[in-house]
Amino acid sequence: MSPQERLIVALDLPTRADADALADALDVDVKWFKIGLELYSSEGPGLVRDYTAAGRRVFVDLKLHDIPATVERATKRLAGLGASLLTIHAAGGRAMMEAAVAGASAGAAGQGGERLRILAVTVLTSLEQSDLAGVGIQAPISELVVKRAKLAAEAGCDGVVASPHEAAALRAALPEDFLIVTPGVRPAGAALGDQKRVMTPAMARRAGADMIVVGRPIRDAQSPNAAAKRILEDLEL
Ligand code: C5P
């Protein structure tokens, strides 16, 4: 994969005008854009349809978690919009993950394009061990992450979203072609501030990440284009 195929820019913005301004400011060849809950909630399926029609590859980060039948029906609709990646929660269980994969396959059938790929979220990185204990889960987070990732692979999912710090353990435990997508990445040389659990793009790549998601370091940069260019260069290493 080329560096351009590995970088996903998160459009964590409130409106289509803001998203367009950022996407259009990137003259370096960025192929992938992530539309998350905020932008999807304001602009909806039309934005996904328009971006994919314009040749952009869209990662719809909606982290679905519901009964299997509902997830299958929603996934089929999202596949019909032309999206390329979608997140679901592995905590929804095997049947729910299988339903998402079935919906993705059914949705792509009429389009001739490649199938929407399903990424499982194992354990939100915002949760600590004590948060899990609070909802009745005693298993160590690192074990839970690997257990859920393996279940996602068995259920036919295409990959997982994981912290770069989990990437090496996951790479060792999962099939070679299973995608590992990591947020929590900061450009080489950037101030890490109080963020300790981050890696540079090159470090994430070496740890086994196939693709990285970058939001604020590009969105909030004085020159988003220069920031994206530096990240692409780091991914060459
Ligand atoms: O931190 P940054 O702004 O680069 O985050 C980019 C994207 O990655 C955001 O859209 C956020 O939802 C997601 N993210 C995540 N898990 C984290 C950190 C960020 O899913 N631990």
Written as tens digits, the pLDDT of the chain (237 aa) is 999 999 999 999 999 999 999 999 998 889 999 999 999 999 999 999 999 999 999 999 999 999 999 999 999 999 999 999 999 999 999 999 999 999 999 876 544 467 899 999 999 988 999 999 999 999 999 999 999 999 999 999 999 999 999 999 999 999 999 999 999 899 877 655 555 568 999 999 999 999 999 999 999 999 999 999 999 999 987
Per-residue confidence (pLDDT) for residue 72, from 0 to 100 = 98
CB of 231 within 6 A of ligand 1: the answer is no
CB of 201 within 6 A of ligand 1: the answer is no
CB of 215 within 6 A of ligand 1: the answer is yes
Contact present, 100 and 121 (Cβ < 8 Å): no
Of 31, 34, 63, 229, the active-site residue reads 63
Per-residue confidence (pLDDT) for residue 111, from 0 to 100 = 43
CB of 125 within 6 A of ligand 1: the answer is yes
User: In terms of Cα–Cα distance, which of 2, 20, 3 is closest to 11?
Assistant: 20
224: how many CB neighbours lie within 10 A of its CB?
20
Per-residue confidence (pLDDT) for residue 195, from 0 to 100 = 55
Ligand 1 center–CA 112 separation, angstroms: 31
Per-residue confidence (pLDDT) for residue 8, from 0 to 100 = 98
What is the atom index within ligand 1 of the atom nearest the CA of 218? Answer: 4
Ligand 1 center–CA 200 separation, angstroms: 14
- Interior/surface letters 12-36, b for 16+ CB within 10 angstroms, e for the rest: bbeebebbeebbeebebebebbbbb
pTM for the structure as a whole = 0.94
> In angstroms, rounded to a whole number, what is the distance separating the alpha carbons of residues 137 and 72?
27
Q: Whose CA is nearest to atom 18 of ligand 1?
A: 184
Helix axes 141-154, 164-173, angle to 10 degrees: 50
Helix axes 37-53, 16-25, angle to 10 degrees: 60
> Is 63 known to be catalytic?
yes
Contact present, 172 and 159 (Cβ < 8 Å): no
CA 42, 47, 49, 52: dihedral to nearest 10 degrees?
-140
